[in-house]
Structure 1
Amino acid sequence: MQLFGSSGIRGVAGAELTPPFVGRIAAAAGVVLDADAVGVARDTRTTGRPLADAAASALASVGCDVHRLGVAPTPAGQVYAARAGVPLVMITASHNPPEYNGVKLVGADGVELSRRQLERVEQRVLAEDVELVEYARVGGHRSVDDVTDAYVRELLDAMEAADHREHIADADLTVAVDPGHGAGCLTTPRFFRALGCRVHTVNATPDGHFPGRDPEPVEGNLGDLRRLVRATEADVGVAHDGDADRAILVDETGSHVEGDAALAALAAAELDAGDVAVSAVNV
């Protein structure tokens, strides 16, 4: 594919990724998915609002009603898509620097579109093969204000169903959180507090300039979090990228935990001998 990579389309906003281009992508997705309604969400980047506006206008112009979700983590948008049964256009550049933005397309099942679906969208974008509807069929817009609240509730319900919530509350844990000024500011601190943890934060004000650190939660960018863990004697530190679909951990000594090691620890905690695990990879 010429446009879509492993996680959507990304580029420098205003140069490689412009509102008209985002509109073409959104319109093509609306037509290919034949959707009555489509959600539009974004992370905290300064260019997110105009790009989300462009996507929403284009979707309405091809006859889709638009659910405006505002700023939300990508996983929160995916949960909404699955619950409401609508596809999602997510405006985010994930871990890329502040000047970047991007588009990620999610199906009505809450899962990113398949390669075959993305190829169909891309073909229409490149061919500019989208027909606008007449005035009487233009889609409407509505704001959805409880996306992050509903996401936190679903996370808490999942912890309750797995019989983890009471154990976590009884453990008297202290958690340090670094959302990196991204969409995770709206959910992760609240989630841990609702679990009964003491929560300390850094870089936890939504800000698309990312003044505290770059969005990518690599070891070199997480000095503030490591210091916070040590200063507060936290049991664990958690850092996110711009759209909070990635979590990187710091242990109780303030040491960085590689993502592969964290995955191995989670697998060891959840899997027994003879269990079957499925690992999804990009090809």
Structure 2
Amino acid sequence: MNNSLQTMYIEMVEKALDRYVSTQRCNNDHVLEAMRYSVLGGGKRIRALLVLNFNRILGGAANDAMEFAAAIEMMHAYSLIHDDLPCMDDDDLRRGKPSCHVAFGEAVALLAGDALQTLAFETLARNTSLEPAQVLQAVRELAAAAGSRGMVGGQTVDIEGTAQTVEQLTGMCMMKTGALIKCAVRLGCLSVGADEASMAQADIYADAIGLAFQIRDDILDVIGSTEELGKPVGSDAEQQKATFATVLGTERAQSLAEKLTRTALDALKQLNVAEDDPLYEMTVELCSRKK
């Protein structure tokens, strides 16, 4: 994803995140420092890129969707902080550096995650380029993706360990990982007031690529390295978690990810996205990424 357009989008998102986080005030400077550490600490910005690319392919202007792109990254950063906590996945490394709770302590990390979640909704509400109804719908979409029907629901299934079959894993991942990816795609569509036909194809794309993304994550936890991924590998096996890689094996799991990616690419073609478009190329790369 070294395309110049994608690089420009990432730079725009980084500046927006820096600007919005800098507006915050808190009696505890450590919380603000932890917020910056987590949300500005690198990452592929895939969700923000999905917002901005769907805005673009449907004829929008990036500035109209920038609050949406920044908000989705804040929500993602909050979820990573909480996922890494000892009471959840208990991971000490994130993006090649100590997890937020390792660097700042559990209490500060918990509060930083809470603050980023609320800042995400404040950021959505800052959008004055679009109609109020569009912004209100964006708030609803993000809330649904983050709540019991989305990330929280998926994480609940994950920590209970009740997803053991491919069907059960699919349901869990569509909530835990897929919901926020789908939200990103839908926010991009909302930013241009997309029609129902376009939104339907965007939903097909999002469901497929969200699941393919998680399957590739499961595979990398088996075949990847800590140096490449910037986070611990083999943790699923250590915790005896069922994943697509353990249930299907890495080869069959990769085959499923590739099938889902083809479905996503077909949806892009229905939206008149060419094969040399940055979004098309990004979608292909997500299925073969090394980190």
TM-score past 0.5 threshold: no
TM-score normalised according to structure 2 size: 0.28
- The structure with the greater share of residues assigned to strand is 1
Higher helix share: 2
Larger Rg: 1
Task: Please report the TM-score for the alignment, with normalisation by the length of structure 1.
Answer: 0.29
